[in-house]
């Protein structure tokens, strides 16, 4: 957290909100990334907008990193965001794969992810989303406490 700057956080938050609003107003859909990705296959009549949204999400992140390198975490130097705890003896790629699978399982069980519940659901004053976000934060606090990764 040494590289946190309120300005870049505010810009990022505003852009996330703008993307969610544009998708809602333009397509009538909620910008929940897990739902968008999870319903991409099997291909259906609404797969095109999902694919376009995900490709633009990736290209936007790439373009920002390429053309505004000092904006993100770590400034212009690449950042290692996570490493598996050494005491656990699990290689980092395996640790990340397990974390990804558990995240995917959690989004399926919770019927949504942090973007769907945290950004769009809370903005719609959804009680279900408020509970989901509380669970997300609670599990994150427990995970950081157990693993020591900050």
Q: What is the rounded distance in angstroms from the CA atom of residue 80 to the CA atom of residue 84?
A: 11
- Asked whether the beta carbons of 104 and 16 are under 8 A apart, the reply is no
Half-sphere exposure of 136 (CA within 13 A, CB side): 21
| Cβ contact 9:72 at 8 Å | no
Note the pLDDT tens digit of each residue in 103-116.
Answer: 888 888 878 888 88
Which sequence spans correspond to the domains of the chain? 1-79, 82-150
Q: How confident is the model at residue 74 (pLDDT cuts 50, 70, 90)?
A: low
In whole angstroms, how far apart are CA 90 and each of 106, 146, 147?
21, 15, 12
DSSP per position, 7-49: HHHHHHHHHHHHHHHHHHHHHS----HHHHHHTSSS--TTHHH
In the predicted structure, residue 138 carries a pLDDT above the cut 90: yes
Q: In this structure, which long-range contacts are made by residues 81-89, counting pairs with CB atoms below 8 Å and at least 24 apart in sequence?
A: 82/149, 83/149, 85/147, 85/148, 85/149, 88/147
Please tell me the least confidently modeled range out of 18-22, 36-40, 129-133: 36-40
Output the pTM of the full model.
0.69
| Strand ranges inside the chain, DSSP E | none
pLDDT digits (tens, 9 = 90+) for 61-72: 888 878 877 666
């Amino acid at each position: 957290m040494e590289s946190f700057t309120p300005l870049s956080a505010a810009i990022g938050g505003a852009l996330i909100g703008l993307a969610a609003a544009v998708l809602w107003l333009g397509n009538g859909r909620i910008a929940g990334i897990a739902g968008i990705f999870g319903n991409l296959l099997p291909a259906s009549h609404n797969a095109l907008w999902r694919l376009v949204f995900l490709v633009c999400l990736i290209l936007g992140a790439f373009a920002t990193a390429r053309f505004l390198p000092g904006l993100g975490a770590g400034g212009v130097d690449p950042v290692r965001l996570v490493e598996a705890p050494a005491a656990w003896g699990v290689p980092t790629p395996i640790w990340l794969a397990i974390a990804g699978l558990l995240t995917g399982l959690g989004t399926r069980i919770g019927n949504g992810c942090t973007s769907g519940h945290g950004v769009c659901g809370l903005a719609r004053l959804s009680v279900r989303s408020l509970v989901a976000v509380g669970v997300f934060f609670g599990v994150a606090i427990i995970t950081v406490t157990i693993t020591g990764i900050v």
